[in-house]
Amino acid sequence: MSGFPVLTTILLAPVAAAVIMTFIPREEGKLIKCVAAVGTFVSMALSLYVYFSYDTALGGLQFAEKIPWIKDLGVSWFLAVDGISLPMLLLTNLIGFSAVFASWNVDNRPREFFILLCLLITGVMGTFVAHDLFIFLLFYEVVVIPIYILVIIWGSSKRVSKEYAGMKLTIYLLIGSAFLLVGIIAFFVKSAGILGGPDMSFTALAEAGKQLSAFDQTWLFALMLFGFGSLVSMWPFHSWSPDGYAGAPTAVSMIHAGVLKKIGGYGLVKIALYFLPLGAKFWAPYMAVLGVAGVTYAAFAALAQKDLKYIVGYSSVSHMGYVMLAIGSFNVIGINGAVANMFAHGVMAALFFSTIGFIYEKTHTRWIPDLGGLARQTPRLAVAFMLAALASLGLPGLISFIPEFTIFIAAFKVYGGLAVIGIAGIILTALYALRAGANTLFGPPREDYDHLKDIRGPEMVPLVVLGTALVAGGILPSLLFDMVNSGAVPLMTHVENVLKIGGVM
Amino acid sequence: MQVDLSLIVPEMAMAVLGLTVLILGLIVPKESRHGLGWFTALALLGVMGLVLAGWNNTGSLYGDLYVVDQFSQFFKITFLAAAFLVVLGSMRFVDKHLGGQSEYYSTLLFATLGMMVMASANDFMTMYLGLELMTIAFIILVCFRRTESKSLESGMKYVLLAGMSSAVLLYGLSLVYGITGTVVINEVGQALALRGPLPILMLGVVMLVAGLGFKISAVPFHMWSPDIYEGAPTPVTAFLAVGSKAASFAILIRIFVVGMFGISLNWELLLAILAAVTIIVGNLVAIPQTNIKRMLAYSSIAQAGYILVGLVTASQEGVKGVLFYAFLYVFATVGAFTVASYFYNVTGSDEIRDYAGLAQRSPLMAAVMVVAMLSMAGIPPLAGFVGKFYLFMTIVEDYLWLAFIGLVMSMVSVYYYLRVALVMYRDEPLDGTPIAVSAPVTVTLLVAMAVTLFLGIYPGPVSEVVNTAAHSFFMH
Amino acid sequence: MVEFAMHNAWLVPLLPALSFVIIVFLTKPWKRLSALVCVAGMVLSCVIATLAAYGVFTNHEFTEKPLVYAVRWFSMAGLNIDVGVQLDPVSAMMMFMVTLVGSLIFIYATGYMEGDPGYSVFFSYLSLFAASMLLLVISSNLLQMFVAWELVGLCSYLLIGFYSHKISAREAAKKAFITCRVADFGLLLGLLSLQIVFGTLNLTELAEKISNFGQYTSMGILTLITVLVFLGPIGKSGQFPLHVWLPDAMEGPTPVSALIHAATMVVAGVYLVGRTMFLFTEVPSAMELVAVTGGFTALFAASIAITQREIKRILAYSTVSQIGYMMLALGLGSLTASMFHLWTHAFFKALMFLCAGSVLHALHHKADVWEMGGLIKKMPITGWTFVVGGLAIAGIPPFAGFWSKDEILLAAFDTGHYVLFTMAALTAFMTAFYMWRMIFLALFGDEKPENHPHESPWNMTLPLIGLAVLSAVGGLVGTPWAPFWQEWIFFGHPHHAEPNYLIMIGSVVLAAAGIYLAYTLYCADKTKARAHALKERYKFFWTLSYNKYYIDEIYLWFNHTFIDGAARLFYLFDIYVVDGIIVNGIAAITRLSGEGLRVTQTGRLQNYALVFFLGVLAVAVVLAFTGPSVAAGLTGGVK
Amino acid sequence: MMAFLNSISWVAVAFHTLAAVVVISALLVVLVRNIVHAVLWLAVCFIALAGVFLTLDADFIALVQILVYAGAVCIMVVFGIMLIRRGNMGESNQFNRQVFAGGGVAVLVTLLSGVLSFRIRYAGSPPDVPENTVDQIATLLLSKYVIPFEVAALLLLVALVGAIFLAKEVKADADS
Amino acid sequence: MLTLSVSLHHYLILAAVLFGIGLFGVLTKRNAVAVLICVELMLNAININLLAFNKYITPGDFIGQIFAIFVITVAAAEVGVGLAIIIAIYRNKLSVNLDEFDWLKW
C-alpha cells in the first residue's frame, strides 16, 4: 500500500460522506446516518490499519505525503504520522465513529447535523496528521464553526443557554488561538530568516527553533501556551469548557472533550515544546503549577455539581490538568504520560458523554437529584456509565490508570510536593465520579423511568467501540505506550540537544 | 513623445462601454432594459479579458504620469471582478427598486473606470480626477433610489462629506506639490528622499492621511461610511465597500510607499496606530448593530484597518499582503452584500432578526453569508485567514502589539458574525417559503463562495500573481 | 502435573477471569449455567493452585529464590513495568487458601443467592473478584499488585452495592471505595517513590536493592516511603482509623462478606506488608507503627464488637480486630505468625460469616441477635458449625485459631513488646466474650415464636461443614510441636519459638473466661437482667462503644464541612469570579464599549465632519510626537 | 529700481486689497442670515479671488474662475435655492448647535496650516511668467495631461447625467 | 507702502484663512446649500495654494494651473450633483435643514 495516500484518504472519507449527504433528500434520515457511519467507519478502519502497521521500532514520520502547496509561505500538503500523532488520529476516529451512533436518534434536521459532524471530524483529524504548521492551523480553527452551529441548533440549555455556551466556547477558543497565531506568525517570520527562506514543515521549523535566542523562545512559548492552553482548558482558562459541554449536543461534547481539547495538548507537545525547547524549559514549572491547580480546582468544582454534564465538564478540566502537569515535568516519561493520558481521557470522556447523552435522551434530565436507580431499568447504559466513571477515577485495568501513573512518576520525580497535591486529585475524582455514578444508577428505581428502553442496536456502538478501547488499553497498555514512546523519545532527544546548545542566536 | 496607447485599451474600452450603455438606454425599449445588466456584465468580463491579455504589456505613458504595471493590472482585475459580481448580483434589485437601468449601469461603469485610472495614475492630477470620477459616480449611485429618503440622506451626507474630504486631500496634495515642485509620484519620492521630513510636509501627510483615510474609512475618518452603507441601495453599498476602498488603497500605496518612502519612518507608526484604532472601533461598534448592512459597514471599517496593516512597513511583502487581502475582500464582501440585497428584494428587510431561518429557506444564501463573514473574520480555511497571515507577517517583527490587537479583535468580530449565523441557522423562519435564488445571483454567490474557499485552501496561484504584482511595483 | 501447575500459575487468576467474560458475554441469561461456569472456573483454578502450592511446598528453594515468570507489560524510556507470577511459599499458601475458601463460598452462594434477579451478575462479579484477588496474590510486581489491589476494591464496591436499590448499600459501597482510595493514595505515592528511587517495582529486584538502600536514598526518605506504603494496607485491611468502611460493607450479600470482607480481600493489606517485609524490616520505626496500629486496632475493634447487635456487624468488627492481630504480628517481625493467623482466620471467619448468612437466609434477613435465639435446634448443621467457628476464633485448642493466636502472643512476648502483648491478650479475652455472646444469643436460649427458621439446602451446608473441618484442623499445620508452617513461611530465616506453655495456658484461660462470662450473662441468665444492669452502669462506655466512638460521624462532619464546603467554594469562585467577573466581565466591557462608541455615531453629518477634523488634528499631534525628527522640526530645528 | 519697486507695490496693494475682500466676503458668506445674500457674497468672493489669481500670473485661471464659479456655480446655486421654495429667506442660513466646537476646530486647523506654511522655504522671488499661458495650457492639456483631461470630461458627463436623473421629477410608477 | 510686500507666505496664509472660513461654515451651517457653498470656499482656497506654488516653486511650469483647472471642473460638477441631491431630498422631506437628516445613525 506504499505510495497510496492513506492519510489523505482518511481525511477525505468523512468529507466524501458529507458531500454525498448533501445530495440525499432531507427526509431520508436513516440513509443519511448510514452514509455518515460508513464515512467515519472507513476512516476508522484505515486509521486502525495505519496504527497497527506503523513501525514503532523504526519510529519517526511514516505514511508521509508531501505536495508543495503555497510557495511563498513554504507550505506543503505535508501529512505524516508519528508515535504522538497516531494515537490521537486513532482516538479521533474511534470517537468520531462512536459519535455518529451516539447521535443516531437525532431527528431534527439530520442532514445538516451529520454533514457538520463529518466536517468536524475531518477538521480534528487534520490537525493530527498535518506535519506542516500552516496546514495544522487550517484545520485547527476550522472545527470551531461547525461546533458553534451544532451547539446552537442541537444543543440544550440548562444553567446557561446553549447560545451563550456556544458563543462562549467559540469566542474563548478563538481568542486563545489569536494569541497562538501571533506566536506562530512571529515564529514563522523568524524561522524564515534563520532558514533563509520560508518553510512551514514541522521538521524545518524545529531546526529553526534551535537557533532562536532564549528570550525569543520564552515569549513565543508563552503565546503558544496561552493559545494551546486555553484549548486544553488549562486553569484558569477553562471556563468555556463546562458550559460549552453542557450546552453541546452529545456528539459534540464527545468530540470536543474527547479529541478537540487534545489538540491543545498535542500542540503544546508537538509544536510549542518541539520548536521552542528553551521556552518550554522556562515555562515548565508554571505549566506544572497551573496543571496542579487545574486538577484540584476543577475536581472540587466537579464535586459541587449536580448536572451530569457539568461533572464531566469539570472532570475533563481536571484531567487535562494532569496533562499540563505531565508536560510541565519536562521529561520523556512525562511526555509519554501526557500523550497517553490524552488518549485515555479522550476515550473515557467520549464514552461518558455518550452515556449521559443517552440518559438525557431517555429521561430528559441530567439533574442528578432527579435521577436514580437507572441500573435496574437500563443495565447496559449503567455498565457504560460505570465504565466511564471508573476510568475517570483512574481504575487500574482501564485505560487511564497507566497514563496517570506515568504522569505521576514523571511529575513526582521533578516536583515532589507539588505533584503530591495533584496526585491527591485521584481521591476527589473518585469522590465525584462515584457520587455521580451511585446517585444516577443506584438507589431506589423511579417509577417514571420504568418504561425506559435500554440502549440497543446502533446505540450500543459507542459502548462497544469505546468500551473495548477502555479495557484493551487498560489491560495491554503497551499497545498505546509502544507507539507513544516511539514518538516521545525522538522528540525529547531533540529537546535535550537544543537545551545543550542553549540557543545559538 | 511616444505614446503606446495599447496600454490603456481597457480604460478606453470602459469609457466606450459606459457611453454605449448610456446610449443603449435611449434606444432599448423600457421592457427589455433589464438586458442591459447582462450586457454590462458580459462586457465587464470582456474588459477583464483585455486586462488579462495585456498582463505583461507594461509601461508608462506621458513620462510616468500613467503607469501600467502588474500592480495596477491586478487592481484593475479586482475592480472589474467586483463590478462584474455586483452587476450580476444586482440586476433584479435594479429592475425592482431603482429603475434607470442605463444610467445605473453606465454610472457604475464610469465608477469602475475611475478606479482603474486611480490604480494606474502616477501623478496627483490623474489620481485626483480618477478619484473624483469614482466619487461622483458613487454619489449618484448612492442616492439612486431617489424616492427613498434614506438613500437621499446618505447621498447628501456623502456628497458634502466627500467634498470636504476632497478639499482636505487636495490641500495635502497642494502642499506636497509645493514642497517638491512636482506632482509625479516618482519625482516626489526622489525629492523627498533628499529633503527629509519638513514640518509643512508633515502637514501635507496629515491631510493626505485624512483625505485618503476618509475614502478607506479609517477611524476617525470613518463616520460617514455606516450611514452611507446603510442608506445606499445594497448593490451600490457592496461596490462602494469594495471598489472605492480598494482603489483608494491603490493610490494610498502609491503615494505612501513610493512617494513618501523616503520619510517612511515618520508615518509608519502613525499608520500602525490608525490601523489599530480602525480595527478596534470597527469591530466594537459592529457588535451592537441590528441592521445587517450597518453591521457589514462597521465590519468593513475593520477590514480597512486590516488592509492598512500591510502598509505599515512599506515593504514589498506588505504590498503583497494588501493586494491579496483586497482581492479576497472583494469576494467576501460582494458575497455578503449580494445576499443582503437579494434578501431585501424578497422580504424588504435589512434587519438581522428577519434573517431567522434563512438556512432553511435558502441554504445557499445562508452558507454564502457565513462563509463571507468568517472569511472577513479570518477563520481558516477561508481566504481571510491567509490574507491576515500575509498581512501580519510583515509587522510581527516591529509592531507586535498591532498583531495582537488585530488578531484578537478579529476573533472578537466572530462574535457578531456568529450572531447572524445563529439567527440564520438556529431560528425557525417566520415565513417558511423557500427563497428561489435567481440565476445571476446564484452565479455571483457561487463565485464569491468558491473563490473565498479556494483562496483559503489553495492560495498558491493567486499569491504568486500577487507577488509578481508587488514586485513590479517595486521594480518601478 | 505439579510441574505444569507451577510453571503455569498464571492460569489461576485467568480461569476465573475467563468465567467472568463467559458469564458477561454468553451465559448471562441462564442463571444455573452462569453459576456453574463461575464455580467451575474457581474449582479448576483451585486444583491448579493446590498442585502449584504442593509443588512449592515440596521444594525448599523457593523460599529463598521465588519462582518468577514475568513479561514486559509496558515500557518507555526510563520506565519499564513487568507483569508476572511470583511463586514462593507465601503466595502459594495464599493462592491455595483463596481458591479453596473461594470454591467453598461460591458453592454456598449458589444456594444463598437463589431467587435473586441479579443471580448471573452476582456470579460474574464473584469471578471477577476471584481473578483480581488471585492476580494480586501472584503478582511479581508492585504495580501489578496495585492494579489487582484496586480491582479487588472495585469488586468489593460492586458487591457491597449489589443490592443497589437500597440506599444503604449504595452508600456503603461508595464509602468503601472512597476510604480505600484515600489509603491507596498513600500507597500509590509509596510505589511512585519506590519506582523513582529504586527504578523498579519488581519484588525480587526491590528486595535486592532495598537491602542496601544506602546507595539510593537516605533513611528518612525510606521511612517516609514505608509509611506511605503502609497507608494502603491501613485502608484495605480496615485498620484504625480507616476501618470505618468494613462494618458498613456488610450491606453486601453474605457470601461476599465471607469471601471478601473476611477471608481474602481485607487481608490483602496484611499480604502486601508481608510481601514487602524486606522494606519494612529496614525501617524499625515503620515496624513499630505497623505493630502499634495492629495492636490498637485489634483492641479497639473488639471494644466496639462487644456491644453491637447485628450479627454481621459483630463479625465485621471481629474481622477488623483479627486483622489487627495479623498486623501486630507483622509489626513484630513475625511473618510466620501473621500469615498463620491469616490462614486460620480465613477458615473460621469465612465459616462464621457463612453461618451467619445461613441464619439470615432462614430468618429472612432479620439481623439483630437479640431477636434470635435457640436456632441450633432448627438449624443443627449451621448451629454446630457456628460453634466450631466460635471455638476457633476464641482460641480454644485444638481449633485453628488457638495455634495462630498463640504464635502472635508468643511473638509479642518474645520481642519484649509487653504493652502490645497485654493488649493482644485482652483482645483475646474480649474476642471470646463477644463471639460467644453472639452465639449464645442467637443459637441457644429460647426460640422466638415469630421466627420460623429452617435448615439451609445442601449447597449451603456442605461448604459450612467443609470450612468447619478446616477451622478445626487448619491450625495443626503449625503447632509448636510440629512446626511445618514455621519451616515454610518466614522472613529472613525460620523462626523456631520455643513453646511457651505459660502463654498457651494463659490464653486458653482467657478464652475460657470470656466464653464463661458470655455464658453467664447471655445464656444462663434467661432474663438478661445482669447484662442490662451492666449496660446501665457503664452507660457512657456502652454508648461510646455502641456508636463506634462516633468516628463515622466525625468523618461525615469533616466530609460535609471541608470537602463539600471547599467544593462549593471552588464552584462559586468559578462561577462568580473566574467566569463571572473575568470572562463575562471582559465580554461585557467589550460589548459596552461597542455600545458606547456606537452612540458617537449621531447621524448628523456635521458631527461627522467635526470628528473628521478632530481626527486631522489628532493625526497631526500623533505625527508630531512619533516621527523621529518631526518634533524637532516643529520647534524649528530642521530647515 | 524704482519701477521695479513700484511694480511690486502694485501687486502688493492689489493682493492685500483683494485678500481683504476675499476674507471679508467669505466671512459674510458664512455669517449672513439669508442664504440668498450669502450666495451673492460668494460671488463677490469668487470675483475677488479671480483678482488674486491675476496677481499670481494665472490669467486663464482667473477667467475660468469668473466664468465657472462666479457665473455658473453661483447662478446654479441661486436656481437651486429658488427651487427649494422657502417662505422666509431671512432665517435661511442659521448656525447649528456645534458652532463653538466647529469654530474652535476651524481656528485650530487654520492656525496649524497657517503657522506651518510660514516654514516653507523657496528660492527667492519668482522669475517672469511666460506670456500666452492659454496656448501652453491648452497644449499641455491635450498632450501630457490628456488622460486627466478626458477623465474630467467623463466626470462632467457623469455628473450631468446623474444630476438630471436625480433632480427630475419621479414618475408615480417608478417605484413600487 | 514698503511694508506692503507680497510673498508666497501671504498667499499660503490667505489660502489657510479661506480654508478655515470654509471649514467653519461646513461645520456650523444648518442649511445644506450653505454647506455646499462653504465646501466650494475650501476648494478655492486650494486653488490659491496651487497657483501660488505654481508661481513661486515651479515657475514656467503649468502644473499648478492645470491642477487648478481640474479642481474647478470637479468642484463645478460636485456642486451640480450636490444641488440635484438637495433638490431631490427637499422634494421628499420639504427641508434642507441638515439637523433633520439623522435617520441613519448608530
The percent of residues in chain C predicted with pLDDT above 90, rounded, is: 3
Evaluate whether C633 touches B199 at the Cβ level (below 8 Å): yes
Helices B400-425, B363-377: axis angle to 10 degrees equals: 170
* C541 close contact with E: CB closer than 8 A: no
Which residues in chain A have Cβ-Cβ distances shorter than 8 Å to C564? Answer: 303-304
| Cβ distance of D94 and E29 shorter than 8 Å | yes
C600, C623, C638: which to substitute to probe chain B, counting the most B Cβ within 10 Å?
C623
Asked if the structure places residue D117 within a domain, the reply is no
Would the pLDDT of B119 be above 90? yes
Would the pLDDT of A503 be above 60? no
Per-residue pLDDT, averaged over D59-88, amounts to: 82
Helix (H) or strand (E) segment spanning residue B59: strand B59-61
Count the neighbouring beta carbons within 10 Å of the beta carbon of residue C497: 18
Residues C308-353: tens digit of each pLDDT: 888 888 888 888 988 888 888 888 888 888 888 888 888 888 888 8
Which residues in chain E have Cβ-Cβ distances shorter than 8 Å to D94? Answer: 29-31
Least Cα separation, residue E2 to chain B (angstroms): 27
C-alpha cell, C35? 453459576
The residues in B 319-348 lying below 8 A from E, measured between CB atoms, are none
Evaluate whether D68 touches D60 at the Cβ level (below 8 Å): no
SS3 C325: helix
Tell me: cis bond preceding A236? Omega within 30 of 0 counts.
yes
| Cβ distance of D101 and C617 shorter than 8 Å | no
Asked if the structure places residue D62 within a domain, the reply is yes
Which residues in chain A have Cβ-Cβ distances shorter than 8 Å to B370? Answer: 145
Tell me: cis bond preceding C628? Omega within 30 of 0 counts.
no
Residues 6+ apart with CB under 8 A from B396: A182, A185, A186, A189, B403
Same domain membership, residue D135 and residue D86: no
How many residue pairs from chains B and C have C-beta atoms closer than 8 A? 111
Tell me: cis bond preceding B381? Omega within 30 of 0 counts.
yes
Would the pLDDT of C639 be above 50? no
Would the pLDDT of B63 be above 70? yes
Residues C378-414: tens digit of each pLDDT: 888 888 888 888 888 888 888 888 888 888 888 888 8
E8, E30, E74: which to substitute to probe chain B, counting the most B Cβ within 10 Å?
E74
Mean pLDDT of chain A: 89
Owner of C-alpha cell 451478575: C121
Least Cα separation, residue A504 to chain B (angstroms): 19
For chain B, the domains span 1-151+219-257, 266-476
Q: How high is the pLDDT of residue B297?
A: 92
The phi, psi pair for B57, rounded to 5°, reads: -85, 85
Task: Please state, in angstroms and rounded to a whole number, the distance separating the CA atoms of residues B270 and B206.
Answer: 10
Enumerate the β-bridge partners of residue C368. C310
| Cβ distance of B396 and A174 shorter than 8 Å | no
Q: Which subunits sit against A, judged by 3+ Cβ pairs under 8 A?
A: B, C
Task: Please state, in angstroms and rounded to a whole number, the distance separating the CA atoms of residues C618 and D105.
Answer: 11
| Cβ distance of C604 and E103 shorter than 8 Å | no
| Cβ distance of B136 and D155 shorter than 8 Å | yes
Owner of C-alpha cell 463653538: D100
Residues A51-95: tens digit of each pLDDT: 999 988 888 888 988 988 888 888 999 999 999 999 999 999 999
Give the single-character DSSP code of C450.
Answer: T
Q: Which amino acid is present at B466?
A: V
CATH number at residue D50: 1.20.120.1200
Least Cα separation, residue C97 to chain A (angstroms): 25
| Cβ distance of C606 and D102 shorter than 8 Å | yes
Partner residue facing E46 (CB), from B146, B154, B174: B174
Beta-strand runs (E) in B175-328? none
D-chain residue closest to C613, CA distance: D105
* B196 close contact with C: CB closer than 8 A: yes
B/C Cβ contact: 3+ pairs below 8 Å: yes
Total structural domains in chain D? 2
Asked if the structure places residue D118 within a domain, the reply is no
Tell me: cis bond preceding C398? Omega within 30 of 0 counts.
yes
Q: Which subunits sit against B, judged by 3+ Cβ pairs under 8 A?
A: A, C, D, E
Count the neighbouring beta carbons within 10 Å of the beta carbon of residue C547: 13
C-alpha cell, C55? 509443588
Partner residue facing E37 (CB), from D11, D29, D65: D29
Q: How high is the pLDDT of residue C636?
A: 44
| Cβ distance of B140 and D158 shorter than 8 Å | yes
Evaluate whether B386 touches B326 at the Cβ level (below 8 Å): no
Task: Please state, in angstroms and rounded to a whole number, the distance separating the CA atoms of residues A213 and C509.
Answer: 83
Same domain membership, residue D71 and residue D21: yes
* B140 close contact with E: CB closer than 8 A: yes
Which residues in chain D have Cβ-Cβ distances shorter than 8 Å to C613? Answer: 105-106, 109
Q: How high is the pLDDT of residue B136?
A: 94
Q: How high is the pLDDT of residue D172?
A: 47
Domains of chain E: 9-98 (1.10.287.3510)
Same domain membership, residue D80 and residue D10: yes
Count the neighbouring beta carbons within 10 Å of the beta carbon of residue C493: 8
Which residues in chain D have Cβ-Cβ distances shorter than 8 Å to C607? Answer: 98
pLDDT category at A287 given cuts 50, 70, 90 is very high
Q: How high is the pLDDT of residue B402?
A: 92
C-alpha cell, E21? 472660513
Q: Which residue has the higher pLDDT, A371 or B280?
A: B280
| Cβ distance of B181 and E86 shorter than 8 Å | no
Q: How high is the pLDDT of residue E39?
A: 92
Task: Please state, in angstroms and rounded to a whole number, the distance separating the CA atoms of residues C387 and C376.
Answer: 10
Alpha helix (H) residue ranges in C141-242? 142-160, 167-198, 203-211, 219-236
Would the pLDDT of B13 be above 90? yes
Question: Which of these, B70, B67, B60, lies nearest to B469 by C-alpha position?
Answer: B70
Would the pLDDT of B174 be above 70? yes
Q: Which of A347-361, B160-174, C613-627, D18-32 has the least mean pLDDT?
A: C613-627
Mean pLDDT of chain C: 85
* D162 close contact with E: CB closer than 8 A: yes
How many residue pairs from chains B and D have C-beta atoms closer than 8 A? 96
Asked if the structure places residue D11 within a domain, the reply is yes
Q: Which subunits sit against E, judged by 3+ Cβ pairs under 8 A?
A: B, C, D
Q: How high is the pLDDT of residue D7?
A: 55
Residues 6+ apart with CB under 8 A from A379: A454
Task: Please state, in angstroms and rounded to a whole number, the distance separating the CA atoms of residues C333 and C91.
Answer: 18
C-alpha cell, B93? 434589485
Mean pLDDT of chain B: 89
What CA–CA distances, in Å, run from B1 to D144, E22, E67, E104?
9, 41, 21, 52
Given the DSSP bridges, would you call strands A62-70 and A75-81 parallel, antiparallel or unpaired? antiparallel
The phi, psi pair for A77, rounded to 5°, reads: -75, 85
Would the pLDDT of C627 be above 70? no
Residues A397-443: tens digit of each pLDDT: 889 899 999 999 999 988 888 889 988 888 889 889 888 888 888 88
Q: Which amino acid is present at C571?
A: Y
Partner residue facing E39 (CB), from B128, B164, B178: B164
Per-residue pLDDT, averaged over B52-61, amounts to: 87
| Cβ distance of A424 and C185 shorter than 8 Å | yes
What CA–CA distances, in Å, run from E53 to B169, B186, B193?
16, 19, 20
Task: Please state, in angstroms and rounded to a whole number, the distance separating the CA atoms of residues D171 and D158.
Answer: 22
Asked if the structure places residue D16 within a domain, the reply is yes
Would the pLDDT of C635 be above 50? no
Same domain membership, residue D85 and residue D135: no
Q: How high is the pLDDT of residue B12?
A: 92
Would the pLDDT of A504 be above 70? no
Which residues in chain B have Cβ-Cβ distances shorter than 8 Å to A68? Answer: 460
Q: Which of A498-502, B182-186, C51-55 has the least mean pLDDT?
A: A498-502
pTM higher than 0.95 = no
Q: How high is the pLDDT of residue A108?
A: 84
C-alpha cell, B320? 503583497
Give residue D69's domain range: 6-90
Same domain membership, residue D10 and residue D86: yes
| Cβ distance of B61 and D147 shorter than 8 Å | yes
C/D Cβ contact: 3+ pairs below 8 Å: yes
- Boundary-marking domain end, from D33, D65, D90: D90
Would the pLDDT of A14 be above 90? yes
Beta-strand runs (E) in B181-236? none
Give the single-character DSSP code of A105.
Answer: T
Give the single-character DSSP code of A453.
Answer: P
* D97 close contact with C: CB closer than 8 A: no
Give the single-character DSSP code of E69.
Answer: H
Which residues in chain B have Cβ-Cβ distances shorter than 8 Å to D147? Answer: 8, 61-62, 65-66, 117, 126
Residues A121-174: tens digit of each pLDDT: 999 999 999 999 999 988 888 888 888 888 888 888 888 888 888 888 888 888
Please work out, in degrees rounded to the nearest 5, the angle formed at the alpha carbon of residue A486 by the alpha carbons of A482 and A492.
130
- Boundary-marking domain end, from D90, D112, D144: D90
Q: Which residue has the higher pLDDT, C529 or B225?
A: B225
- Boundary-marking domain end, from D30, D58, D90: D90
Residues B212-240: tens digit of each pLDDT: 999 999 988 999 999 999 989 999 999 99
Q: Which residue has the higher pLDDT, A7 or D86?
A: A7
Q: Which subunits sit against C, judged by 3+ Cβ pairs under 8 A?
A: A, B, D, E
pLDDT category at D86 given cuts 50, 70, 90 is low
Surface-to-core class of residue B397, CB atoms within 10 Å of its CB (0-12 exposed, 13-18 middle, 19+ buried)? middle
Which residues in chain C have Cβ-Cβ distances shorter than 8 Å to A420? Answer: 189
